[in-house]
Structure 1
Amino acid sequence: MSNFMIYMIGIIVLIVALFIAGNTFGWPQSYVLIGAVILLGIGILAGVTSTKRRDPPAGDPPIR
């Protein structure tokens, strides 16, 4: 399993926890959905930036 998938599973767990907390504390459903969308967006951005492979510089020959 890739690092990105593990990262996304963690974000999904956080979103589920947000829904459970919102239901428990009686938060408005629209606030919980907005928070989930924001959390998902931040999670995708952070996951991509932390797990992407760096491109080698253009001038260097490929490593064999």
Structure 2
Amino acid sequence: MSTFVIYAIGFIILLAGLIYGAVLLNVPTQWIVVGSLVLLGLGIALGVGKTRVKDVPTDQT
């Protein structure tokens, strides 16, 4: 399993917990959706940045 998939699964579990907590606190649904989308986008951006394979420099001789 790739590093990004493991990171994404962990982030989805975190996001699900935050959504569940927001529902228990009676946060309006529209704000739960907005917050979830923002966090999902942030999670994808961070996941790609942390798990990206560095480019190998090519010899240009």
- Asked whether the two chains share a fold, i.e. TM above 0.5, the reply is yes
Q: 1:60 Cα shift?
A: 5.9
1:18–1:32 Cα contact (<8 Å) kept = no
**TM-score normalised to the size of structure 1?**
0.84
1:42 aligns to 2:48 (yes or no): no
* Structure 1 unaligned blocks of 5 or more: none
1:2 aligns to 2:5 (yes or no): no
Indicate the RMSD between aligned Cα atoms, in angstroms.
1.6
Q: 1-side partners of 2:60 and 2:48: how far apart? A: 25
Letter of the 2:43 partner, please give it: G
Letter of the 2:7 partner, please give it: Y
* Superposition pairs of residues 13-24 of structure 1, within 5 angstroms: 13-24=13-24
Q: 1:10 Cα shift?
A: 1.0
Q: 1:46 Cα shift?
A: 0.5
Secondary structure, aligned partner of 2:58: coil
- Number of aligned residues: 61
**TM-score normalised to the size of structure 2?**
0.88
Letter of the 2:9 partner, please give it: I
Q: 2-side partners of 1:19 and 1:12: how far apart? A: 10
Q: 1:11 Cα shift?
A: 1.0
Percent identity between the two aligned chains:
36
Provide the residue aligned with 1:57 in structure 2.
Answer: 57
